[in-house]
Structure 1
Amino acid sequence: MRILVLNADYPRFLAWFYGRHGGLESASYAAQMAARNASLFGVADFYSRNFAALGHVAAEIHVNNTWLQTAWAREHGMAFEAPAAANAERRALPGWVQRIATPFKPMLRPLARKIGLSPKLDGRTEKILLAQIEDFRPDLVLNQDTFYIDTSFMRRVRAIGNPVLIGQVGIEPSRGEDWTVYDLMISQLPTTVNAFRKLGVRSELNHLAFEPSILGALPQAPEPDVDVSFVGTVSTDHRQRIALLEAVAERYDLKLWGNLPRSVAASSPLHRCFQGEVWGVEMYQTLRRSRITLNSHIDFANREAGNMRLFEATGVGAFLLTDFKENLDTLFAPDREVAVWRSIDECLDVIESCLRNHSGRAEIARAGQARTLAQHTYRHRAAEILGLADGPRANR
Structure 2
Amino acid sequence: MDYPSQYSHLMSQKFAWADFFKKNFEQLGHEAFEIIWNAQPLQQAWAEFHNVSKHGILLSQILYYRPDVIIFQDSVSFSAEFIREIRLKVKSVKIIVGFLCSPFNNTVLTNLKEYNFVLACAPFIEVLKQNRIKCFKFIHAFEESILTDLKELGGIRSTDFFFAGSLLAGSNFHSGRIQILENLANSDINLKIFTPLISSDNPLSFNLKKLSYHTYNIAKKIGLAGFFNHIPKFEKIALLSEPPERIKLSPKLRTIIKSDPLFGSDMYKALALSKIGFNFHGGIAGNFAANVRMFEVTGVGTLLLTDHKQNIAELFEPDYEVVTYKNSSECIDKVQYLLNHPHELTRIALAGQKRCLRDHSIKNRVLQIIDIIENNL
Of the candidates 11, 15, 19, which is equivalent to residue 45 of structure 1? 19
Structure 1: which 5+ runs fail to align?
1-26, 81-123
CA distance in 2, matches of 1:67, 1:152: 25
Please say if 1:272 is aligned against 2:246: no
User: 1:136 maps to which residue?
Assistant: 65
User: Which whole-Å CA distance do the structure 1 matches of 2:251 and 2:286 have between them?
Assistant: 25
**Superposition pairs of residues 286-297 of structure 1, within 5 angstroms:** 286-297=270-281
Residue 75 of structure 1 and its aligned partner are, at CA, apart by 1.0
Structure 1 residue 333 displacement after superposition? 0.5
Distance, in Å, in 2 between the alignment partners of 1:208 and 1:156 is: 29
Larger RCO: 1 or 2 (CA < 8 Å, sep 6+): 2
- Superposition pairs for residues 141-220 of structure 1, below 5 Å? 141-159=70-88, 160-161=90-91, 162-171=93-102, 173-176=104-107, 177-189=110-122, 191-218=123-150, 220=152
- How far, CA to CA, are the matches of 2:249 and 2:103 in structure 1? 31
Q: Point out the more displaced range, 278-287 or 265-274.
A: 265-274
1:233-264 CA distances to partner (integer Å, 9 max, x unpaired)?
A: 11121111111111111112221112124133
1:303 counterpart = 2:287: yes
Tell me how far 1:268 sits from its aligned partner: 4.4
TM-score (norm 1): 0.78
- Displacement after TM superposition at 1:173 (Å): 4.2
Moved over 6 A (4+): none
Q: How far apart are the structure 2 equivalents of 1:77 and 1:285?
A: 39
TM-score (norm 2): 0.82
Matched, 1:349 2:333: yes
Matched, 1:259 2:196: yes
Are 2:76 and 2:104, in contact at CA under 8 Å, matched by a contact in 1? no
Structure 1 pair 270–386 and aligned structure 2 pair: CA distance change class (3 A): same
Q: CA deviation at 1:265?
A: 2.3
Deviation at 1:35, TM superposition (A): 0.9
1:169 partner letter: L
Correspondence 1:1-396 to 2 at 5 A: 27-78=1-52, 80=54, 124=55, 127-159=56-88, 160-161=90-91, 162-171=93-102, 173-176=104-107, 177-189=110-122, 191-218=123-150, 220-221=152-153, 223-236=156-169, 237-251=173-187, 252-261=189-198, 262=201, 263-265=246-248, 267-275=250-258, 276-393=260-377
CA RMSD of aligned residues (A): 1.5
CA distance in 2, matches of 1:341, 1:392: 40
Q: CA deviation at 1:225?
A: 2.3
- CA drift at 1:169: 1.0
Q: SS at 1:62's partner residue?
A: coil
Shift of 1:129: 0.4
Paired AA for residue 181 in structure 1: E
| Partner SS, residue 152 of structure 2 | coil
Gaps of 5+ in 2: 202-245
What secondary structure is seen at the aligned counterpart in 1 of 2:34? strand
Paired residues of 2:78 and 2:111 also in contact (CA < 8 A): no
Helix, strand or coil at the partner of 1:367: helix
Mapped to 1, the partners of 2:112 and 2:357 lie a distance apart of 33
What CA distance in whole angstroms lies between the structure 1 residues aligned with 2:290 and 2:277?
16
Partner SS, residue 167 of structure 1: strand
Aligned residues: 321
Q: CA deviation at 1:371?
A: 0.4
Q: What SS is found at the alignment partner of 2:364?
A: helix
Q: Give CA-to-partner distance per residue, 1:156-194, whole Å, 9 cap, x none.
A: 1222124301111113542123322111111122x3011
Post-superposition Cα deviations, 1:361-392, rounded to whole Å, max 9, x if no partner, equal 11011001100111100110001011111233
Q: What whole-Å deviation, never above 9, does each CA across 1:11-32 have from its counterpart, x for those lacking one?
A: xxxxxxxxxxxxxxxx121111
Judged with a 3 Å threshold, the aligned counterparts in structure 2 of structure 1 residues 266 and 316 are, in CA distance, closer, same or farther, namely closer
Q: Is the 8 Å Cα contact of residues 98 and 112 (structure 2) preserved in structure 1?
A: no
CA distance in 2, matches of 1:348, 1:280: 28
My pick for the range that moved more, 144-153 or 260-269, is 260-269
Query: For residues 295-340 of structure 1, what are the alpha-carbon distances to aligned partners after superposition, in whole Å with 9 as ceiling and x for unaligned?
Result: 0011111110021111111001011101111111111010111111
Return the offset for 1:267.
Answer: 3.1
Q: Deviation of residue 219 (structure 1)?
A: 5.3
Matched-pair contact (CA < 8 Å) for 1:208–1:307: yes
In 1, Cα distance between equivalents of 2:130 and 2:186: 43
Further displaced range: 250-259 or 202-211: 250-259
